[in-house]
A and B are shown apart, each in its own frame.
Chain A
Amino acid sequence: MTAPASVGLWGLAWRRLRADRVAMASLAVVAAFLLMLLLSATGLIVADWEDEVGVNYAPPSFVGAAPAVPAMVPAAPAQPLPDNPFDPLADDIRALRAPTVDMYGVADPLAADLAQLGVSGVAAAGAGKLATLPFGADKWGHDIIKKTIKGGETSIVVGLVSALLAVGLGTLFGALSGYCGGAVDDFFNWFYSIFTAIPSVLMILAVAAVLQQKGVVTIVLILGLTGWTGPYRLIRAEYIKHKAREYVLAADAIGASHWRRMFGHIFPNVSHVALVQMSILVVGFIKAEVILSFLGFGVPVGVVSWGSMLNEAQNELILGRWWQLTAAAIAMAMLVTAFSLFTDALRDALDPKVK
């Protein structure tokens, strides 16, 4: 008589996940995003996103090419936007549009040449550039789809790495605090109460103000160093619960060191908490990165992320160019929705008691 092979925690969780259709669908979406990230990070796709393949602000193909606006012909201002009575700056704009330059009856001797140059210049600059792209182009004529994928690479990498850092710190502090107890616990609890007394947004902005230099590493540090409190609290509680269990006492009896008991024996039994915390943090950090980059405290100039795309798109929307905003918004909403749904399912699958 052979005992049936028993299924472990992870096997059971996977079985529960498989039975959940929403979870599997969202997992597929997340996996697709990660695959895209991997391909773009290795340069297999969208390595050429910075090529100016389209004309400036080329509209999406399904909208059709913009009516021929002679963009660079001098003396013919690009067709003015109709007045918007709700625009707080309407008066100023009207004043600016009024012909302000009095020519004093002097004819510009170079006008004809300039016009000539302008026409040929436009022809030369526009040569070989597409009037429409599948989802339009930005200010410089970059393909929006490629730019969105590239921007997603930055945003997702920041989210993943900073969540890893935050959960790593939270786990380390929580393990030490819960396992050692006593003065160590008091110290980390004091530290925890300090960090939770300052709202996280304010903490992030304060660190951003101090660090000054922009960069992907800076954002990762800001988010990782301020986000460890959530994992810390839960992991500490788990360690307090586990340290008196029999398997830990048994490990002690066979002479396992403290470090080995903490991370060799207890950690595998509480790692599902860390995993769920991490996926919760990834979602939060992707959102935070977008806001930081939007405000200009995030990625440096020259690096594209969803936040920097939204920053550009905000001004484009007033000109009626909605495609960059839409692309970044849809990509982000898809990823974050799928990731949140998957996180919920993962938590239910790993901790069936909470329902």
Chain B
Amino acid sequence: MFAYIVRRLWQMLPTMLGVVLLVFFLFNWVGGDPAYILAGKMANAESIANIRRQLGVDQPYYVQLWIFIQQIASFDFGLSWATGEPVANIIATRLGPSLTVLIPLTVLETVIGIALALAVAFVRGSLTDRVVMIACTVGMSVSILIYIIVFQYGLAYKLGWFPVQGWGGSFWENLLRYSTLPIVIGLAVSIAPTLRLFRSFVLDEAGQDYVRTARAKGLSERRVMWVHVLRNAAIPIITHVMSNLPALLIGAFLLERFFGIPGIGREVILAVERSDFPVIKAITVYVAAATMLFNLLTDLMYQAVDPRVQLT
């Protein structure tokens, strides 16, 4: 087990190096000279040269790359160009609000998705099944923007059931008061694709021999579905949920933006608007690292769920 983990971590190095190179290529080469962005409209040659020296962009590329790698390893990306706040501090303080919304959202989405998928799989092929699937397709084709705009206007602005936007100081206030509507909208958006996907996982299993055997020995349909099928469908479901987590951190940027939640996603949007490269670079590199670690974690969870899986 330990040897497996070490080997997997070792294999991540080339990919991580590739991510670093790609980010470096994008921001230091394609992105052009940051001094012109920073110096503003009224720049003179002297201030540009000064900024270039401070950022190290007057150095050759390999020196700049080395600086970048040092920054990643030391978690010190310097200061944000827009606000002057240390980048490490930005990431640390924005992570909490993001997770306050994302963890309940993911848990609810998975539980509801599994329950509905099993319920739909009971009546597979029937009219109900077909109608639910078409409703899911229609639901998925409405842009997430529409859900947010309409729900925020209707439920918060008109009916006043939820605060329109904002973020408080205490965790419970944030979770119960400010995160509720974003979580509801997130569920409304994500339940349709999740249901479709989980249904296909469940149906893949429902045709297997062991299901026929379980039925033949007289188990109730409920027991067959909830115990036998679910246990086997768990592997693709876990893969899906786990591998989506890091992406969701950014993917919730629209929710965070509309509801004024000071999370990672909103920070990325702000950074793109202000050309705040250090913030985007740092978030990209760390999210990529998180994605790879979560993939490893997923594989480790397989073994917990399915004893047949041998990690070697």
Q: Please determine whether chains A and B interact with each other in the same assembly.
A: yes
User: With an 8 A cutoff between CB atoms, is B165 at the interface?
Assistant: yes
What bracket does the count of chain A residues touching chain B fall in? Answer: 35 or more
A210 contacts B142, C-beta separation under 8 Å:
no
Interface residues of B in 269-283 (CB under 8 A from A): 269, 271-273, 275, 277, 280, 283
Out of B26, B143, B150, name the residue touching A332 (CB < 8 Å): B143
A291 contacts B26, C-beta separation under 8 Å:
no
A202 contacts B287, C-beta separation under 8 Å:
yes
B160 contacts A318, C-beta separation under 8 Å:
no
A310 contacts B275, C-beta separation under 8 Å:
no
User: With an 8 A cutoff between CB atoms, is B236 at the interface?
Assistant: no
Binds A, one of B15-23, B50-58, B300-308: B15-23
Which residues from chain A sit less than 8 Å from chain B, CB to CB?
22, 84-88, 190-191, 193-203, 205-212, 283, 287, 290-291, 294-297, 307, 310, 313-314, 317-318, 325, 329, 332-333, 335-337, 339-341, 344
B18 contacts A191, C-beta separation under 8 Å:
yes
B251 contacts A206, C-beta separation under 8 Å:
no
User: With an 8 A cutoff between CB atoms, is B163 at the interface?
Assistant: yes
| 11 residue pairs bridging A and B, Cβ less than 8 Å apart | A86-B160, A86-B163, A87-B157, A88-B164, A194-B19, A202-B287, A210-B26, A212-B31, A325-B146, A332-B141, A341-B134
User: With an 8 A cutoff between CB atoms, is B27 at the interface?
Assistant: yes
Residues in A with CB closer than 8 Å to B6 are: none
User: With an 8 A cutoff between CB atoms, is B213 at the interface?
Assistant: no
B145 contacts A210, C-beta separation under 8 Å:
no
Chain B CB count within 10 A is highest, among A86, A190, A207, for A86
Whole-angstrom CA separation of A290 from B37 in the bound complex: 27
Out of B141, B156, B160, B272, name the residue touching A205 (CB < 8 Å): B272
Q: Which residue of chain B is the closest to A196 with respect to CB atoms?
A: B291
Whole-angstrom CA separation of A206 from B22 in the bound complex: 11
User: With an 8 A cutoff between CB atoms, is B250 at the interface?
Assistant: yes
A197 contacts B291, C-beta separation under 8 Å:
yes
Whole-angstrom CA separation of A190 from B12 in the bound complex: 10
Whole-angstrom CA separation of A344 from B137 in the bound complex: 10
Out of A197, A201, A208, A283, name the residue touching B251 (CB < 8 Å): A201
Interface residues of B in 214-254 (CB under 8 A from A): 246-247, 249-251, 253-254
User: With an 8 A cutoff between CB atoms, is B149 at the interface?
Assistant: yes
Residues in A with CB closer than 8 Å to B3 are: none
Residues in A with CB closer than 8 Å to B169 are: none
Residues in B with CB closer than 8 Å to A190 are: 14-15, 18
Residues in B with CB closer than 8 Å to A335 are: 141
Residues in A with CB closer than 8 Å to B32 are: 212
Q: Which residue of chain B is the closest to A336 with respect to CB atoms?
A: B141
Out of B16, B26, B165, name the residue touching A206 (CB < 8 Å): B26
With A87-B157, A318-B153 given, is the CB distance from A194 to B22 under 8 Å? Answer: yes
Whole-angstrom CA separation of A257 from B134 in the bound complex: 47
Out of B164, B165, B283, B292, name the residue touching A197 (CB < 8 Å): B292
Residues in A with CB closer than 8 Å to B166 are: 88
A337 contacts B138, C-beta separation under 8 Å:
yes
User: With an 8 A cutoff between CB atoms, is B1 at the interface?
Assistant: no
B30 contacts A211, C-beta separation under 8 Å:
yes
Chain A CB count within 10 A is highest, among B143, B149, B292, for B143
B15 contacts A193, C-beta separation under 8 Å:
yes
A209 contacts B280, C-beta separation under 8 Å:
yes
Residues in A with CB closer than 8 Å to B15 are: 190, 193-194, 197
A119, chain B: closest CB distance, angstroms: 35
User: With an 8 A cutoff between CB atoms, is B175 at the interface?
Assistant: no
B153 contacts A208, C-beta separation under 8 Å:
no
User: With an 8 A cutoff between CB atoms, is B268 at the interface?
Assistant: yes
User: With an 8 A cutoff between CB atoms, is B298 at the interface?
Assistant: no
B137 contacts A86, C-beta separation under 8 Å:
no
10 further interface pairs, Cβ-Cβ under 8 Å (given A209-B272, A333-B142): A87-B164, A88-B163, A198-B291, A199-B250, A202-B287, A206-B280, A209-B275, A212-B31, A287-B143, A310-B145
Out of B30, B141, B153, name the residue touching A210 (CB < 8 Å): B30
B157, chain A: closest CB distance, angstroms: 6
